[in-house]
């Protein structure tokens, strides 16, 4: 009788061990086949890249933007939290073309994070594959102001370029988190469709304004102008980053009057006094501030910033006819 009981207990133990082993094995299979992984940490230099990265990364990453939409990306005061975020980052996304040359390289070096250095999988230059405008044709030096030797870096204002930026972000996320490749690809496809649709809608609205001539304070709207077919080649800055002389501004005033240019575009972080001086000398003209980046002028998305920019240009044109 005792033998039978012992045999029964032994069978129960073996059954329990077998069941436990199967259960643990199934959990192991689930873990190795599941796309779930630790969240990626992505740091973006500007708010537009942050927004684009959020659309692509979705719930798979924590996205941190270093500056706001109202900040000038040329001149940034670094903060201790920048280093903290970069030291922990899996991906760093930048505009490139030396736009952030005064602050990003220093932070990269000080972060001691090899994953986000140039040439590493976690480094993402969102200008890759973008058709760059304004590449210099002559040798330049610092006496010419804050010149960009690789061309105009404000390419994100063209929505088609935003698609290329999103693809670059997607590729960077995939490099560091290959298990979620399909997830990132799906989000990219959705974002691309949305941007193509808004570009078509805004292009149609801009048709009556094709060929419109505007002046700008800083040469940052050339991509927006190129895409939506208006002219923004006259700058109030004599040299980038250098306050214009009165003599130069008088030349701009004469040209605006002769060419019947009535609109001056500026960014939210530029001192408006130079544009306002010029406008005060050109009858019927006005200064118009565009958001430039996500977060400026109460915009909460790339699409909002684009719509608002183009609407303000159309409204200004209607008012100054």
- pLDDT digits over 247-273, tens only? 999 999 999 999 999 999 999 999 999
DSSP code at position 231 = E
d(CA 193, CA 55): 12
Burial readout 193-207 (b: 16 or more C-beta within 10 A, e: otherwise): ebbeebbeebeeebe
Helices and strands (H, E) in the chain, number of each type: 10, 8
* Angle, vertex CA 226, rays to CA 221 and CA 229, nearest 5: 110
Return the domain boundaries, the chain. 40-200, 205-319
Q: What is the pLDDT of residue 32?
A: 46
CATH topology classification for 205-319: Rossmann fold (3.40.50)
114 vs 9 pLDDT, higher one: 114
Supply the DSSP string of 122-135, one letter for each residue. TEEETTTT------
Model confidence band, residue 281 (pLDDT cutoffs 50, 70, 90): very high
Report pTM: 0.86
Q: At what angle do helices 181-206 and 159-176 cross, to 10 degrees?
A: 170
- Residue 38, pLDDT score: 84
* Same topology between domain 40-200 and domain 205-319: yes
Does 40-200 carry CATH code 3.40.1130.10? no
Distance between CA 301 and CA 120 in Å, rounded? 29
- Please answer whether residues 282 and 259 qualify as being in contact, where contact means their C-beta atoms are separated by less than 8 angstroms: no
Which secondary structure element, helix H or strand E, spans residue 314, and what is its range? helix 302-319
Mean pLDDT of 10-36: 48
Sequence-ordered strand ranges (E) for the chain: 40-44, 61-65, 91-94, 123-125, 213-216, 231-235, 263-266, 286-289
**Do 278 and 253 touch, CB atoms closer than 8 A?**
yes
Average pLDDT over residues 104-114: 97
Structure tokens at 311: 């609407």
Least Cα distance to 287 among 252, 251, 320, 250 occurs for: 320
What tens digit of pLDDT does each residue of 50-72 get? 999 999 999 999 999 999 999 99
Q: Which residues contact 209 (CB under 8 A, 6 or more apart)?
A: 228, 230, 313, 314, 317
C-alpha of 268 from chain center: 16
pLDDT at 162 over 90: yes
Positive or negative torsion for Cα 51, 42, 223, 107: positive
Task: Specify the length of the chain in residues.
Answer: 321
User: Given the structure tokens 């691309």, which residue do they identify?
Assistant: 192
> 3-state DSSP call for residue 91?
strand
Residues in contact with 44: Cβ distance below 8 Å, sequence separation at least 6, in sequence order:
50, 53, 63, 64, 65, 66, 93, 94
Comparing 141 with 276, the larger pLDDT belongs to 276
Contact 260, 236 (CB under 8 A): no
Pairing of strands 213-216, 61-65: unpaired
**How far is 294 from 296, CA to CA, in rounded Å?**
6
Count of alpha carbons within 13 angstroms of residue 85, beta-carbon side: 21
What token pair was written down for 25? Answer: 């094995």
């Amino acid at each position: 009788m005792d033998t039978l009981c012992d045999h029964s207990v032994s069978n129960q133990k073996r059954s329990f061990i077998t069941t436990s082993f199967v259960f643990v094995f199934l959990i192991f299979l689930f873990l190795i086949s599941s796309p779930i992984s630790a969240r990626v940490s992505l740091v973006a230099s500007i708010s537009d890249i942050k927004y684009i990265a959020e659309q692509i990364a979705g719930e798979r990453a924590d996205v941190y933007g270093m500056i706001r939409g109202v900040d000038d990306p040329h001149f940034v005061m670094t903060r201790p939290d920048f280093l903290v975020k970069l030291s922990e980052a899996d991906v760093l996304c930048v505009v490139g073309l030396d736009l952030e040359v005064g602050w990003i390289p220093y932070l990269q070096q000080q972060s001691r994070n090899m994953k986000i250095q140039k040439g590493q999988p976690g480094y993402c230059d969102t200008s890759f594959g973008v058709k760059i405008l304004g590449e210099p044709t002559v040798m330049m030096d610092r006496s010419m102001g804050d010149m960009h030797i690789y061309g105009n870096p404000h390419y994100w204002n063209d929505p088609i370029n935003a698609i290329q930026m999103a693809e670059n972000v997607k590729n960077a996320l995939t490099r560091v988190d290959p298990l979620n490749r399909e997830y990132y690809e799906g989000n990219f496809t959705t974002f691309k469709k949305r941007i193509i649709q808004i570009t078509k809608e805004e292009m149609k609205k801009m048709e009556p304004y094709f060929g419109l001539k505007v002046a700008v304070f800083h040469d940052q709207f050339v991509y927006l102008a190129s895409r939506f077919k208006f002219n923004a080649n006259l700058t109030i800055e004599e040299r980038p980053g250098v306050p214009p002389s009165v003599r130069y501004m008088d030349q701009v005033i004469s040209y605006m009057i002769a060419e019947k240019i009535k609109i001056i575009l500026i960014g939210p972080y530029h001192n408006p006094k130079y544009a306002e001086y010029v406008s005060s000398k050109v009858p019927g003209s006005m200064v118009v501030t565009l958001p430039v980046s996500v977060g400026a002028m109460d915009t909460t998305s790339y699409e909002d910033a684009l719509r608002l920019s183009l609407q303000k240009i159309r409204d200004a044109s209607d008012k100054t006819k």
